[in-house]
Structure 1
Amino acid sequence: MSACEVKQLNNRRIVLEAKNITKVFPGVKALSNVSLKLREGEVLALLGENGAGKSTLIKVLSGVHNCEEGDVFINGEKVVFNKPSDATEKGISIIHQELNYVGTISVAENIFMGNIPKKGFIIDYPKMYEEARKIMARIGVDINPKEIIGRLTVAQKQLIEIAKVVTDQTKVLIMDEPTSALNDVETENLIKFIHNVAKKGIAIIYISHRFDEIFRIADSVVVLRDGCNVGGMDIQDASREKFVTMMAGRSISDTYIKKEANPGDVVLEARHLSTTHIKDVTFQARYGEITGVYGLLGSGHNDLGPAIFGQERIISGEILVDGKNIKLDTPITAIEHGMAYVPAERKTEGLILNSSIKINMTTAYYSKHKNKKFIDFGKDNSIAKKWIEKFSIKTPSPETKAESLSGGNQQKVVLSKWLELNPKILILNEPTRGIDVGAKIEIYKILDELCQQGLCVIMITSEMEELLTMSDRVMVMHDGLIMADLSGEKISQNNIIKYAMGEQNERDE
């Protein structure tokens, strides 16, 4: 942004202002005198590590939480939000990091929930489906509005969540990690959408840990740390180093250099594997190696992990572990053969949020040791203590509920649960989705260490930088097929995108 553009932006009307916002939870001061201003058509990036107060601030601004101190102003008018609908009426729309949907009904019904089109007392399904298509088309989404939303991928659900909140009345759009489940192509469509709505005068608060996105779309930046506003700047004055130092309160690298792998024997092999989402998939994975899996929306890459782990019915093909053919019909069977699976949606699939860290860390242990008739409280305590110390999980106690942890610490709890079983094969679906740069580096170190210890790691990710950083091999999927199995110098962004778009199949070359 040029100096002239900055001046023009500063002359625009302030549509949202927060003054001295303070929010206290039992034993924790989540926000302390936080202030910010947002102007018409401005994209303000809100940065901070997990637990810095970002989510709490936007929940105050959107009526989810009340604040103990401070005021909120819309177009210069002081407002009080007692519930989310109060904020919506004032033109504030929010896309939460946690997906909000009813999995058993259609896409269209989720979009129009609470405002279903009717003819008299009868639902007007043709109108609802047509309007749902139009709403999704605004951000380049082409999904059947009649499809049951629970059957969709995480990325598809995220796109629908984005599409449904933006209305003609929206003045301020708050986006919390909107691209965390999206791949590069889907992210490009979203960035175009953001530029378009900003041109129409909609002001945007954008939370992301992806710095490349911030530099492409933001006009200004505000950084939170430990519940405080530690500074802000125009994007032209910003740098990655400044962001990281302000977020962490110290100078750290935002990149990770993976150690060289020393692959061993083949531990997992799929032969002509087909489910409802993947077709004729054949590959091998080795001990001591990280195999990355990438694909665009609908490619089947997010369905590969559940298929290998016994969560989807196998139509044809076979799976071998250490050369032995296994009948993989349930996750329990997968666990018995040394597999572990970290799902993409940790809050709905990986954790029991209202239970303690200790309970979450031991659920897989008791699933494997079904012969135990009684809970071994001593064993539970030792498991929790071991992993809290090993992974430096920030918590006051093993009895703390999982829902109170930051995203990075929640992911460490999910990893701990599975690593307690000492698996041979660790499958991860979007392993760093929605966690900050510091926590992401910690997860990378854990995966690298596991790889060095000889574990077979299969990492399914939509994040290109993560794929290139951590993968020893990369499998690229398109339309349910593996289009390429890349290694060495062949692993490049250009090659990966080429195969992901289905332009050619390496195995036909």
Structure 2
Amino acid sequence: MRGLGKRFGEVRALDGVTLDFPAGQVTALMGENGAGKSTLLKILTGDHRPTEGTVLLDGAELALGSPARARAAGIRIIPQEPEIIPHVSVAENVYAGALPRRGGRRLDRAELHRRITADLDRLGFSRVLEPELLGSQLTPAQRQLVEILRALTGEAKVIAFDEPTSSLSEQEVAALFALIRRLRAQGVAVVYVSHRMQEIFQLADRIAVLRDGMLAGVLDAAEAGEQELVRLMVGRDLSRLFVRQRVATDQVVLQVDDLTTDDVRGVNLAVRAGEVVGLAGLIGAGRSELALALAGDLPVRGGTVRLDGRRLRPGRPGEAIRAGLGLAPEERKAQALFLQRSIRENTSLVVLDRLRRWRFVRRGAERELAQGFADRLRVRAPGIEQEVRTLSGGNQQKVVLARWLARKPKVLILDEPTRGIDVGAKAEIYQIIADLAREGVALLVISSELPELLGLADRVVVMQNGRITGELDRAEATEERILALAMADDLSDHNDSSGEDDLRDEGGRP
């Protein structure tokens, strides 16, 4: 890319970016949300035309006017938000637009099955993805794998992965990394977009950093340090990312006793005012299902949930909200936000009863409320009438938080609150969590990033297969102990009756 620029009206999203992606190398592309990464990728896919500059492939200038041209040129982008056809199978989703036909018209299902089976085996995904599953039945992780399979059909010269591991399990991440290394060995130019430093240093040969639409620098991954990268990304030092101080009281706000659903088994849990309880576990452990059940959004088969001593009736989200419970769910775009609506409308959604006069919403009061929280949480947008779909992931998450802050909850459940969010926005959300705890809010934080839980939580509760397998105080919690509890059943199945020897390394350390 030479002198690449892109304007949207008065907003300059990219400004004179000159950057190359060499064949046979993994180039990590990093930057805060809004730095220009998505715009750059959309130019590569043909979704956007650059305002100025050129794109060259193998030395020849490309006219990427459409996604079809980009694909024909050998450029593949695996998006962060998978696009899945719900009513057809995995196999048909993967080969959509290029399905094998018999006699030119009828779908050749035998050939389709042969192709998908061969590709699943070749890419190492056969154990985690069934060809006949419908798109509507797929988990977020499986939808991501379908996008990866779709991108790898045909000959590819450049493949960009946009936050590909945000929904994947440890096993699936390992398979993906092995695949990326094979692509690199085959001479493919790999672009890897991620906010996870550990992944970047594990995979990348070089790291390109964007800031405010400009190229801030390109570093050798083997020589780069984490603090140097953060300074390039945000222009300041974030050495004190976590600011938690223990402010919990003895007052139990949320009390869960023997809660049982189709996915959760006999959960007992207490969260106190001002306490941050981290909820850890591998994908499929039942953490999100527990959160939805507490919020009244999943059927409950047994047990009780009490908020400030008041028993909540199951399956009644409105009652849970009125009692003071809020939930920022894992899938913010699908489950929390009205993307075509404004910041103002999304913020005021759960307090309209307080803003009404007779049957009409007082627009002045609504605007004042939304603007106040947008300022407090530093939502970066031209104004509160901006549609939420146009915001970066970090700012979308702040709008979700603003909604619940407006309601003044007693209990706030945050499910993967920083997924797909850059390091600068993460620091701001960590500060919001610390502020809420100081105000006496009881917080239950679900996260797949163990350093995040260790930095935020007063206690870490660990789940596996729908039940709680252990609890660790802040002083005793480590990544190793959390993982041991998260895999407790697997380890007990693997170990013999002699107990703990298999949990120790060669030096005898646990």
The question of a shared fold, defined as TM-score above 0.5 by the shorter chain, is answered with yes
SS at match of 2:360: coil
1:30 to 2:6 alignment: no
458-467 or 164-173, larger mean C-alpha shift: 164-173
Match of 2:263 among 262, 267, 277: 277
Query: How far off is 1:26 after superposition?
Result: 1.5
Deviations along 1:367-415, one digit per CA (max 9) or x if unpaired, are 7889952121012111112101211212221111212222211111110
1:251 to 2:234 alignment: no
Query: How far off is 1:281 after superposition?
Result: 2.4
SS at match of 1:182: coil
SS at match of 1:38: coil
Do the aligned partners of 2:296 and 2:317 also contact (CA within 8 Å) in 1? yes
Match of 1:410 among 379, 396, 399: 396
- How many residue pairs match? The answer is 490
Q: Report the counterpart of residue 82 of structure 2 in structure 1.
A: 99
Q: Matched residues in 1 for 2:444 and 2:451: separation?
A: 16
Q: Matched residues in 1 for 2:57 and 2:264: separation?
A: 49
Deviations along 1:165-222, one digit per CA (max 9) or x if unpaired, are 2234122110111122335454333323222221222211111111121111111111
Q: Matched residues in 1 for 2:243 and 2:306: separation?
A: 32
SS at match of 2:303: strand
Do the aligned partners of 1:133 and 1:142 also contact (CA within 8 Å) in 2? no
Do the aligned partners of 2:254 and 2:308 also contact (CA within 8 Å) in 1? yes
Q: Report the counterpart of residue 495 of structure 2 in structure 1.
A: none
Match of 1:356 among 314, 329, 342: 342
Within 5 Å, which residues of 2 pair with 1:103-114?
103-114=86-97
Q: Report the counterpart of residue 292 of structure 1 in structure 2.
A: 278
Within 5 Å, which residues of 2 pair with 1:147-158?
147-158=133-144
Deviations along 1:316-368, one digit per CA (max 9) or x if unpaired, are 33322223332121321221221111111222222222221111111122378
Q: Report the counterpart of residue 317 of structure 1 in structure 2.
A: 303
TM-score, with normalisation over the residues of structure 2?
A: 0.89
Match of 2:366 among 359, 374, 380: 380
Within 5 Å, which residues of 2 pair with 1:341-490?
341-366=327-352, 373-490=359-476
Query: How far off is 1:46 after superposition?
Result: 0.9
1:51 to 2:51 alignment: no
Deviations along 1:234-262, one digit per CA (max 9) or x if unpaired, are 11331112211111223332732421232
Q: Matched residues in 2 for 1:464 and 1:132: separation?
A: 35
Do the aligned partners of 1:264 and 1:454 also contact (CA within 8 Å) in 2? no
Do the aligned partners of 1:340 and 1:418 also contact (CA within 8 Å) in 2? yes
Question: 5+ residue gaps in structure 2?
Answer: 493-498, 501-510
Q: Matched residues in 1 for 2:397 and 2:339: separation?
A: 12
- Equivalent residue letter for 2:68: S
Q: Matched residues in 2 for 1:330 and 1:368: separation?
A: 20
- Equivalent residue letter for 2:438: Q
Q: Report the counterpart of residue 224 of structure 1 in structure 2.
A: 210
1:41 to 2:24 alignment: yes
Q: Matched residues in 1 for 2:295 and 2:109: separation?
A: 38
Q: Matched residues in 1 for 2:151 and 2:459: separation?
A: 39
Within 5 Å, which residues of 2 pair with 1:207-218?
207-218=193-204
35-44 or 476-485, larger mean C-alpha shift: 476-485
Instruction: State the percentage of identical aligned residues.
Output: 37
Q: Matched residues in 2 for 1:416 and 1:305: separation?
A: 19
1:19 to 2:2 alignment: yes
Do the aligned partners of 1:254 and 1:438 also contact (CA within 8 Å) in 2? no
Q: Cα 1:149–1:254, aligned 2, differ >3 Å: closer, same or farther? A: farther
Q: Matched residues in 2 for 1:125 and 1:293: separation?
A: 43
SS at match of 1:428: strand
Where do 4+ consecutive residues of structure 1 move more than 6 Å? 367-371
Q: Matched residues in 2 for 1:375 and 1:449: separation?
A: 30
Q: Cα 1:159–1:480, aligned 2, differ >3 Å: closer, same or farther? A: farther
Q: Report the counterpart of residue 178 of structure 1 in structure 2.
A: 164
SS at match of 1:37: coil
Match of 1:198 among 167, 184, 189: 184
Q: Matched residues in 2 for 1:379 and 1:127: separation?
A: 62
Q: CA RMSD in A?
A: 2.4
Do the aligned partners of 1:261 and 1:472 also contact (CA within 8 Å) in 2? no
Deviations along 1:19-62, one digit per CA (max 9) or x if unpaired, are 11111112211111111111111100111111110110011011
Question: 5+ residue gaps in structure 1?
Answer: 1-17
TM-score, with normalisation over the residues of structure 1?
A: 0.90
Deviations along 1:255-309, one digit per CA (max 9) or x if unpaired, are 3242123243222222332323222322222221111112222222232211211
- Equivalent residue letter for 1:323: G
Q: Matched residues in 2 for 1:130 and 1:329: separation?
A: 44
Match of 2:61 among 75, 78, 90: 78
Q: Cα 1:478–1:35, aligned 2, differ >3 Å: closer, same or farther? A: same
Q: Matched residues in 2 for 1:504 and 1:283: separation?
A: 24
SS at match of 2:396: helix
Q: Matched residues in 2 for 1:184 and 1:258: separation?
A: 28
Q: Report the counterpart of residue 322 of structure 2 in structure 1.
A: 336
Q: Matched residues in 1 for 2:22 and 2:466: separation?
A: 45
SS at match of 1:279: coil
SS at match of 2:18: strand
